[in-house]
């Protein structure tokens, strides 16, 4: 069981460039990728998405890629002398037309060296892809390790909450017949007080108690809840992506708990139902983090 949040990072230093990739993942119903990288690498977005999809099933991933040419590579870039001479002539004409004073220095030309470099000598992004792919896989590995570690912590918390929920269900089942017996005794006492010692009709009393028992019976709800809790626990310990299935199960648990709460005709059962709903709600919040 994995969490959907995590972070992964990898970088490489080469003679011509420095390359860095970061993956940041948060919750999402589906797999979504947001890219923050140089436009020159935009052609690799589909390949990156495919690699991510093979490793991640759900979550919103921000993919940040930084690519910098090293000073050594920049120094090796040759200047197009024809372009430099043409640039110089343009500056001279502009100086003469605007009647500007001062000497034209080499710094004036080198400050625009990016326009004077021979295009075939610039950084070729295609040669970056093998490194980018390798770093992406490493960052994905780190991301998956973090998601697995957080998923393990979430699993421990969920198991403890499932136990509390299961104990609440057992307590509700145990309390249910006690409520019926207590209701019968209260009813006998009340009728006795109102009837001033008159004899009670046992059949009529039994009918009233039966109606109360039927209205407050939560046997089916408790049986389904126990089944859901077992299924939830099995899903957590199984392989594969479990978040969507667990989210469906927790919705069913919530419906059963609401039914029990609506049938609660005693303060004891009502209190237990509230405690049960609280644990289910906490599980609902946690399951949103599961892949």
**Res 117: pLDDT:** 61
Same domain for 67 and 102: no
- 8 Å CB contact between 249 and 232: yes
**Res 120: pLDDT:** 47
Averaged pLDDT in 10-residue chunks for the chain of 291 residues? 92 86 92 90 91 92 87 57 79 83 75 59 66 94 94 91 92 75 63 59 64 69 91 82 88 91 80 92 90 83
**Res 22: pLDDT:** 96
The CA-CA-CA angle for residues 207, 210, 214, to 5°, reads: 140
**Res 121: pLDDT:** 41
**Res 221: pLDDT:** 85
**Res 190: pLDDT:** 64
**Half-sphere exposure in the Cβ direction for 202 (13 Å, CA):** 0
Asked if residue 1 is part of any domain, the answer here is no
- Alpha-carbon distances of 287 from 59, 156, 157, 282, rounded to whole Å: 13, 13, 11, 9
Tokens standing for 85?
A: 């001479």
Same domain for 162 and 49: no
**Res 63: pLDDT:** 96
Same domain for 268 and 174: yes
**Res 41: pLDDT:** 86
Residue 253 and residue 221: Cα distance in Å, rounded? 9
Domain that holds residue 98: 79-120
The model's pTM is 0.66
Domain count along the chain: 3
Asked if residue 60 is part of any domain, the answer here is yes
Residue 118 and residue 55: Cα distance in Å, rounded? 41
């Amino acid at each position: 069981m994995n969490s959907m949040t995590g972070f992964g990072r990898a970088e490489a230093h080469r003679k011509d460039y420095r390359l860095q990739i970061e993956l940041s993942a948060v919750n999402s119903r589906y797999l979504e990728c947001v890219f923050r990288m140089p436009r020159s690498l935009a052609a690799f977005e589909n390949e990156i998405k495919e690699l991510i999809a093979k490793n991640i099933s759900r979550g919103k991933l921000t993919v940040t890629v930084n690519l910098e040419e090293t000073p050594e590579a920049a120094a090796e870039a040759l200047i197009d002398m024809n372009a430099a001479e043409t640039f110089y002539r343009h500056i001279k004409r502009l100086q003469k037309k605007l009647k500007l004073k001062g000497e034209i220095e080499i710094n004036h030309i080198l400050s625009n060296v990016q326009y004077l470099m021979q295009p075939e000598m610039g950084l070729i992004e295609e040669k970056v892809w093998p490194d980018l792919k390798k770093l992406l896989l490493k960052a994905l590995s780190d991301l998956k390790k973090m998601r697995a570690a957080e998923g393990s912590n979430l699993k421990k918390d969920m198991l403890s909450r499932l136990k509390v929920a299961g104990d609440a269900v057992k307590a509700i089942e145990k309390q249910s017949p006690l409520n019926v017996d207590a209701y019968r005794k209260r009813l006998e006492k009340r009728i006795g007080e109102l009837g001033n010692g008159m004899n009670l009709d046992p059949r009529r009393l039994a009918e009233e108690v039966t109606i109360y028992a039927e209205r407050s019976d939560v046997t089916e709800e408790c049986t389904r809840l126990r089944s859901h809790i077992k299924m939830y626990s099995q899903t957590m310990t199984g392989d594969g992506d479990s978040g969507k299935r667990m989210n469906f199960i927790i919705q069913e648990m919530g419906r059963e708990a609401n039914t029990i709460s609506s049938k609660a005709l005693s303060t004891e059962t009502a209190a237990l139902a509230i405690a049960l709903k609280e644990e289910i709600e906490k599980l609902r919040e946690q399951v949103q983090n599961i892949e």
